[in-house]
Amino acid sequence: MKKYTVINTPVHNIDGIAKVTGQAGYTFDIKLPHMLYGKILRSPYAHAKILKINTRKAKRLIGVKAVVTGKDTLGIKQGIWRRYKELCDEEILARSKVRYIGEPVAAVAAVDEDTAEEAQDLIEVEYESLPAVFDPLEAIKEGAPQIHEHAEQNINVTRHIEWGDVEEGFKKADYIREDRFRVSSQAHVCMETHNAVASYTPEGKLTVWTSTQSHYYIKVLLADILGLKENDIRVISRYTGGGFGSKFELDSAQFCSALLSMKLCRPVKIVLMRDEEFMATKRRTPMFYYLRTGVKKDGKFLAKEARVYTEGGAYTAMGATALYLTGFFQAFPYVWQSYRYDGYRVYTNTEPSSAMRGFGAPQATFTAETQIDLIASDLGIDPIEIRRKNAMYPGYEVPGQARIQSCGLSQCLDKIEEWVKSRGKLPLHRGIGVAAYGFMSGGIFNWFDTPYAFSSALVQVNIDGKVDLYVGSQDMGQGSNTTLSMICAEELGVRLEDIRLHMGDTDTCPVDLGAWGSRETLMQGNAVKMAAADAKRQILEFSAAKLGPNIVYDLDIKDRWVHLMARPERGLSYYDAVKETIRGKDGQPIVGRGHYTPHRKGMISPAYSFGVQAVEADVDPETGKITLKNCVTAHDCGQVINPLGVEGQLEGAMAMAAGYGFTEDLPMDEGKILNPNLVDYKVLRATEMPETKVVEVETYEPEGPFGAKEAGEGLTNPTAGALSNAIYHATGISIKNLPITAEKVHDAIRDRERKKKAKKTDRVQRTKQK
C-alpha cells in the first residue's frame, strides 16, 4: 500500500473554485440591511497634544448618524503583548495625544461613504504641535522629545541573547570584520485593505466580520478594549485578502466600526483606503545593524556580536517579537561558538513597525548573509564552502535557545552548488549570490497570555462518512484550509473531498491563535491530526469486533478501506464501519478532539525550516539598474503536504522578498510617508519577476504532523541577502543599505570610478613632479 494516499499529491485549494469564479465573499463584499458606512479622521501631526475636538458641525450634516472620539472610549490602552501591561500602549482612538501621522482621532458613521467623508472634513480638531523625533538613533539621545511618559530616552523594549565566551572568541579569531547596515521598512500591501463590518444588537451581542489572520485575537482584543465579555463577541472571517503579518492585531477599522455600532445598534462598515493602509496599519521594522564577526582563516565561525536599534514607531505592536527574532535569526542557520546580541526597540514619531512576513528574520538574514560573503571574499573562500563549514545539523542545540531536530541545510547547499556550477561562466556584469536561511514553525512564547491550547481542532464523522472538520486557523491565501483538510483526510483514511472544513468563525470553531509565525501547518496540523486520530480510533474499536485481530492497533483506514495493517486485503468498507460505529454509539456521531501546545521545545519554536537560495542578477553599469534573471531555492520544509501549495508559497515569498531587496521602500519626510499609493510604492510586477525553480529537500520533522514544518515565511528571509551578494559578485560593490536601488548602485559605481581616476591622476602628477 502507498505510504500516503492524500498528502504529497498536488491539489488545488479547496476554496479555489470560489476564488476563480468571483464567488468568494470577503468582508469587503459584505452589505447588510440597514448598514452604515464609517470613515476615520487621522492626525496630520507626528506629535501633538489634542486640545479640543468639535464634532458639532459634522453631527449636523444630513445623513450622519454618529461621531465618536477618544472620549467615547473606555480609555483603555491595548496591545497584543497582553502579558506585559507596559507594552499595551495604544488607545487606537487617541484621547489626549497623537504620536504619528495617521493616528486615528475620530470616526464617523453615515448613510453612505460620501456623506461620511464630508462629515470627516467638518470635524474640528485643535492640536498643539510638539517637537517630534523620527530617527531611533536621535530618539535615544538625552534631551530628545519623549514620546511616552513611561519610556525614558524612548526605549521601548530591550533584548539580550548570549552564549559562549565572545571575548575569547574574538581573541582566537584570525580575522575580524565590522559592518554597519541600515535595513529599510516595507509595507504589507494586502490586496484587501483592512476592513470590518460590526453589528451590535440590543441583546448586548457584537458580531464583527473582518479581514484578519486571527479571529480569536480580534475577539479577545475587542473584549479588552470595549469592556465586553469575550463570548459576547463573535468574529467572522471566511476569506481574507492577504495578511502578511498586518492583520492579527486590533486595527482602527475593527475598533471604530464596533464603537460606532455599539452607539447606534446598526451595522457599520469601515474599509480603509489605500493611503490609510500605507500610513496607519503598521509595517516592517527598519533597523540599524552593527555586526562584528570573528572567524578562523579557514572560515570557521568563532564569535559574533550584534547590536541593533530598531525604529519602533509610536507603539509596541508586535515589535517586541521582531526585536527578539532578529537577534535569534542573526545567528541562524549556523553554528556559532559564541554570540552576543543586544537589541533596542526605540519609540519614534512614525507609523508603528511590527510583524511582517519573516518577522525580524529578513533583516537578520540580509545583514548576516551579506557579511558572510564579504568575509569569504576577504579570506578567499568559496561562499558555499564557508556556509557548509558552519551549517547547523540535525540534533544541534542553539545554547539556551533552541534544539534543532530535522535539518536539511547541507543537502540544500549541495543542490544549490550543483545549480551554480551548471550556470558555467557568466556574462559580464552578471552575478550569482547565495544566502542560507531558516525559520520557525510557530512561536512558543505566550505573550498574548492565552489560557487555551495554542491550537485545537474538532472532527465529526457523519453517517454518510463525510467529515466535518472544525479549525480555528485562518486561511489568508497561504492555503492552510487545504493543508489541514489533507492532514485530516490522510489520518482518517478518507479522501480530500470527504472533508467539509469549517473555519473563520469564533462561535463555531475551536480556538487557534491564528495564521502568523508560520504556525498553522505544524501547530494546527498537529491538533487536526490528533482529532482525526481520535475519531479513527473510535471507528477502529467497532471495526475490530467485526474483523477480530489480536489487538485494536493492528487496524488502519486508508482510502476509505478499514483493514488489518499486516493483511490489507482483509477489511471492510469505511462507510459500513462508520454506520456500525454510529449505531453502536446509540446514534451519536463520531467526534474526535485534538489540541497542540508546544512543551519543552526551547524559547522559540518547536521546529525549523531550512534552505539556500541563489539569485542571478544583471547590473547595468551605466544606470545601476538591476534585472533578476533566475532564482533557485533548495528548501527543507520537512514532509511536503501539498506540493502545489508549497511551490506557491515559495515563489510568492520570493517576490515579496525581492521587492524588499531592491524596489520597495517607505521614504518619509518628518514622519510623513511620501509614497502611500501603488504607483509610487513599487511592488514587483510580472515583468520584473525572474524565472524561479524550487528544489525540495525532504526531511522528517518528528514534531510536525507527518513530519511537516513551515513553508510560508522562511523564503522571505534570503532574497535580499542573495541579491546583495549577486550584485557584489557582479560589480564588486556591496550595498549595506536596503533597498538596493539602481540609484545606490549607480552612485557607488561612479564613486569608485572617481576614486580610481583620482588615484591615477595623483600617480601621474607625482610621476611628473619626479
Partner 1 sequence: MAKYLLCFTVNGEYHELYIKPKRLLVEVLRDDLGLTGTKRACNTGACAACTVLLNGASVKSCSVLALQADGAEILTVEGLADGARLSPLQRSFLDHGAYQCGFCTPGMLVSAQALLDENPKPTREEIREGIQGNICRCTGYNSIIRAVEAVAKGKYKEKG
Interface ranges with partner 1 (CB under 8 A): 10, 12-13, 15-26, 28-29, 31, 188-193, 239-244, 273-274, 476-479, 644-645, 647-648, 651-656, 677-679, 683-687, 689, 691-692
Phi, psi of 320 (to 5 degrees): -65, -35
Q: Which is nearer to partner 1, 314 or 711 (CB)?
A: 711
Q: Is residue 133 classed as helix, strand or coil in its secondary structure?
A: coil
Task: Determine how β-strand 668-669 pairs with β-strand 672-673.
Answer: antiparallel
Q: Which is nearer to partner 1, 213 or 338 (CB)?
A: 213
Q: Which of 407, 332, 395 is nearest to 698 (CA)?
A: 407
Angle in degrees, 0-180, between the axes of helices 719-731 and 643-662, rounded to the nearest 10: 50
Q: How far is the CB of 12 from partner 1 (least distance, A)?
A: 4
Q: How far is the CB of 257 from partner 1 (least distance, A)?
A: 18
The three cell numbers of residue 296 are 578562523
Q: How far is the CB of 580 from partner 1 (least distance, A)?
A: 35
Q: Which is nearer to partner 1, 21 or 769 (CB)?
A: 21
> Alpha-carbon distance 172 to 167, whole Å?
9
- Are 351 and 368 within 8 A, CB to CB? no
Q: How far is the CB of 184 from partner 1 (least distance, A)?
A: 18
* Counts of helices then strands in the chain (DSSP H, E): 18, 32
Q: Which is nearer to partner 1, 191 or 552 (CB)?
A: 191
- Are 513 and 477 within 8 A, CB to CB? no
Q: Which is nearer to partner 1, 187 or 391 (CB)?
A: 187
Q: How far is the CB of 330 from partner 1 (least distance, A)?
A: 26
Q: Which is nearer to partner 1, 23 or 769 (CB)?
A: 23
N-terminal to C-terminal alpha carbon distance within the chain: 88
The three cell numbers of residue 766 are 607625482
CA 442 to chain centre: 10
Q: Which is nearer to partner 1, 241 or 504 (CB)?
A: 241
The three cell numbers of residue 533 are 486520530
Q: Which is nearer to partner 1, 31 or 768 (CB)?
A: 31
Question: Residues of 113-144 as b/e, b for ≥16 C-beta within 10 angstroms?
Answer: bebbebbbebbebebeebebbbbbeebbeeeb
Q: Which is nearer to partner 1, 30 or 540 (CB)?
A: 30
Q: Is residue 65 classed as helix, strand or coil in its secondary structure?
A: strand
Q: How far is the CB of 27 from partner 1 (least distance, A)?
A: 11
Q: Which is nearer to partner 1, 230 or 497 (CB)?
A: 497
Question: Order of strands, edge to edge, in the sheet holding 430-440?
Answer: 430-440, 608-619, 626-636, 691-696
Q: How far is the CB of 524 from partner 1 (least distance, A)?
A: 18
Q: How far is the CB of 10 from partner 1 (least distance, A)?
A: 8
Q: How far is the CB of 16 from partner 1 (least distance, A)?
A: 5
Q: How far is the CB of 638 from partner 1 (least distance, A)?
A: 20
Q: Mapped to the 3 state alphabet, what secondary structure does 476-534 carry? A: CCCCHHHHHHHHHHHHHCCCHHHEEEECCECCCCCCECCCCCCCHHHHHHHHHHHHHHH
